[in-house]
Structure 1
């Protein structure tokens, strides 16, 4: 063996140290695999960057982690949505107040949209309302129909419980009829400034939230009954608000970000992407 060490221009000590490093590396990687598996129980489609922020391994930097993440087969195939659930038709009932607006604080603007979820050959519908600044979901509703009384109205009633006294946010949506029917306007006319875009392209934050909740959570939870879908939607909203870090929020979750805003009164200024 000494002759082999000499040929390789190394020492027995160096070889033993290398073996120990390899063994330690294997243990660390096994630990990472276990942690990722645990996180994906609640966050089935959480990507590599957010997994790194949640785990924060002291023995591995971000770039090395992402390289290992790809090589280990943890990458997720993208999902795409095609079906529209609101009828925009180019009709504007309210002006677009969000265009080019600088977002500076919580409850400055809320955004909303309706998306579908296919369940045993039929469609259920998910209505979401989110604070455009903090990304926190304020209200949601799972329904079997697209009627306003089953979608936007109950979602808004839930969200109103989070609205501080005296706040009057912009409420932005696309031109869907569920957002300008009498029942809905009766809830918004005193407490919100109604805003609408002509198309989904003028409501990008809400559209992005739809994709996140469906693709990153609901499809991973695999609900098979309407009751299960209701329960899994509630879990998805909780996981999103309380545990999902956002790069746009400095790596914080929506809940944590809002709490920091209240405690520090420090605002991150962002320009709306419309």
Structure 2
């Protein structure tokens, strides 16, 4: 790799605080560090991360499905207001609108973005149950933290030289599409998350067809 001028992507250690404390009593931790899911749209995790740019800090919010590790929603903005996280959630709801059945647990940290009234009400509208990790413990949302780490290593830190929110949005859009549809994911048995989910639905269709044929 040295002879070819190739080097691996490495994570940076220094980062600003992206979680603001929220008041009131938050929901319980329903995952308890169990980041597996029996099917799509049973468990989502959400988190925020930061991007240093020439224009100042930019923040990216992700929503990920734990069954396949697919990114189902995301948003980039130059602020940490609640609508940053809410926009990512809205994308997730829209992208899964045909398969949400009210049996979803949404897990996040205790940041004010995720415990805000508007965010909580939107989850209630789709019948999702809220779950949050314990205070100051990143391991309680480790799957989302792992996604943030990949995003930083494979795109943000690897490329560098970010000008502002616009170029981060455009490149994040391309990275998410690549991550979901092309990148081989070890969790999925070294196939892309989308392919992993497609296999799940095909197996369901086959099982339903077989059951119907037996009944007839």
Distance 1:240 1:112 in 2: 17
Structure number having the greater helix percentage: 1
Distance 1:104 1:209 in 2: 20
Residue 192 (structure 1) aligns with: 128
Q: Is the 8 A contact 1:221 1:232 kept in 2?
A: no
Distance 1:93 1:240 in 2: 32
Residue 183 (structure 1) aligns with: 118
Residue 156 (structure 2) aligns with: 218
Residue 252 (structure 1) aligns with: 191
Q: Is the 8 A contact 1:112 1:127 kept in 2?
A: yes
Secondary structure in 1 matching 2:63: strand
CA RMSD of aligned residues (A): 2.3
TM-score normalised by length of structure 1: 0.66
TM-score normalised by length of structure 2: 0.83
Secondary structure in 1 matching 2:95: coil
Q: Which has the larger radius of gyration?
A: 1
CA deviations on 1:207-251 (whole Å, 9 max, x unpaired) are: 010111122123334432321111011111111111111111111
Q: Is the 8 A contact 2:12 2:157 kept in 1?
A: no
Q: Is the 8 A contact 1:90 1:175 kept in 2?
A: no
Q: Is residue 114 of structure 1 aligned with residue 86 of structure 2? A: no
Residue 64 (structure 2) aligns with: 130
Distance 1:135 1:238 in 2: 13
Distance 1:81 1:158 in 2: 30
Q: After the TM superposition, list the runs of 4 or more consecutive aligned residues in structure 1 that deviate by more than 4 angstroms.
A: 69-73, 88-92
Gaps of 5+ in 1: 1-68, 267-274
